[in-house]
Chains A and B, each alone.
Chain A
Amino acid sequence: MKMLIVGNGIAGNEVAFSLRRARKDFEITILSAEHVPEYDPCSLPYFIGRDVPRDAVFRRRLEDYSTHGIELVLGQRVTAIDPEARRVSTEQGLTYGFDRLVLAHGGSLFIPPIDGIDTQGVHSCKQLAAADRLDQYQGSAAVVIGSGAIGIEAGEALKKRGYEVTIIELLDWVLPALFDPETSRRLAERMNDCGMRVLTAEKVLRIEGGERVSAVITDKRRIPCDTVVIATGVVPGKALAQTAGIEVERGIRVNEHLQTSVGGIYACGDCIETVDACTGEDAMFQLKHNALEQARVVARNLLGEPAAYPGAYAFARAHFFDTHAVTFGKTTRATQCELGQLEIIERDEGEDYLRVIVKEGLVVGGQAIGRFADFIGLFIGAMWRKDNIPGIRENWPLIVRAGSAYPWTFRKLGELIGLKA
């Protein structure tokens, strides 16, 4: 069986190596648009910040592919899929046939149509080649456009490299997809305290500079700088599937077996649209744990097991300097437009903050800064198990005096939401 995988990222590699562990006879080929073995995009900011050496970003070495009999083809960007003829063709004009195809080509950085975006000194941090350019660049004052996870991490990295850093966010609060304004406000304060200037509700109009970036102009001010980092979000790679007649919406559409609308063609990772594991709604949480779990489901299906993917979930840490924060599930904003009784549990104690979003008595999301983040995993567990929060309150005396240590997670959850013994 010829297994062809488009994309040499987290998802693509997990499919390839999972298949190889189970079957020695499959022909497994990975087509990579980039020129390096598998690396982790999550590691890039820490290489730029010089927290780790460059080779720490790699998850695999070239030898791993040859040792496991996986053909890794570098520098071949797939540009067309012919589902009938069961083959793909690349930018370089090569064609590869398949029995089963896995689309795992991920997403790409959204490049906003800003004047001057092509000026020398404008960088990004989503792929290794771009991170290398940023690493080698000599600058001193950076403007990061976008305050998502990548933007914040790139900002921290450049601050560590001695840059002056300004982060500009179009929306009203930082990390807008992951945190509520109440939490973000506290994070933004800390960013400012760390010397990362944060500007929210501000729009970049153009980038100035002749031979090199010299300033960023927003709708409120002119910011002199010599470096710009674009961190305006990742969009799933749809075009390849779309032109082949594979169904796409916000991402490539897949069923519960992660098969696309075309038989024998699967998809996983940042390029797909999937469902929320808790609520079943359409969702896109382009995060590493989801890519890995999806890839494993694809591999199981390719091996003949009709495994169903339970869905994706949001989980992300936000860490910069001494600030440690975490978010999981849905934000208040995402839940507000829905029907159902909403309760926000909030605890604010100096440097520590907790925010738990409870809908109809069930945990649907949470955010924390500082010590409340330490046991956030218990709230995630409560979400999965559909623990009844009002029930914990009502039965608190029973939990405290249960005469047994076993209900300790309920005891700890109760303490975290402020119940006293």
Chain B
Amino acid sequence: MKTKTTPLILVDPEKCTACGLCQMACSMVHHGILSPDRARIRVLRFEGGRGNVPLVCQACQDAPCIKTCPMNARRRLDNQAVVTDDERCIGCRACAYICPFGAPVVNPDSGKTMTCDLCAEEDAQPWCVKACRDYGALTSVGSGETVARKSRERAAQTRNAYKPKKA
């Protein structure tokens, strides 16, 4: 059983090849089948340029999904992940809509939402991280501060890559 020191998943979109192995791994560990539609991680694929973006719940410290769920179904695990309690969820998708990334995935079988639980039930690394070891787009990093620092570095790169002309 993991504790607060469970690492978080750091996403590096520059390394993502959109192979989809993370989705296969996630659906396998949680639902026992290979089914991208049943994965809590998704890959946004953009045509015409370089860009595949693995999209997964970031377990926000002040998670807006927890505040807006009408059934208080969104809750934080000991390992910091924010997940949906199946018994409370009524499938309204408020969590998906308030999420700045649209991270919650609607389980096609139940109509309820689900998000990354950092493989809380497993004794190993999150399976998507393992599946991505050839490319390294998903890695386990030690703490929220590390993720925040790296995110800030990336944000600076975004700013440098996209310098809009004033409209």
Contact = CB atoms under 8 A, between A and B. Distances in A.
Indicate, yes or no, whether A interacts with B: yes
27 contacts: A40-B72, A52-B71, A52-B87, A52-B88, A56-B71, A56-B87, A59-B72, A289-B98, A324-B92, A324-B93, A361-B167, A373-B93, A377-B102, A381-B100, A392-B164, A395-B162, A398-B163, A399-B162, A401-B49, A402-B49, A402-B162, A404-B14, A404-B51, A404-B158, A404-B161, A405-B51, A408-B44
B71 A46 contact: yes
Nearest to B161: A404
Interface in B65-106: 67-68, 70-72, 87-88, 90-94, 96-102
Nearest to A395: B164
Contacts of B166: 391
A203 interface: no
A292 B50 CA distance: 40
Contacts, number: 141
A126 interface: no
Nearest to B92: A319
Interface string B151-167: 00011011001111111
Interface string A377-421: 110110000001011111100111111111110111000000001
Given A289-B67, A395-B162, A377 B167 contact: no
A326 B70 CA distance: 14
Interface in B44-70: 44, 46-53, 64, 67-68, 70
A395 B165 contact: yes
Nearest to B14: A405
Nearest to A59: B72
B164 A43 contact: no
Interface string B119-138: 00000000000000000000
Which one of B90, B154, B163, B165 has the highest number of Cβ atoms from chain A below 10 Å of its Cβ? B90
B13 interface: yes
Interface residues of A, number: 48
A235 B72 CA distance: 24
A403 B96 CA distance: 29
B68 A289 contact: yes
A51 interface: yes
A56 B70 CA distance: 11
Interface string A289-329: 10011000000000000000000000101010000101000
Interface string A21-32: 000000000000
Contacts of A392: 164
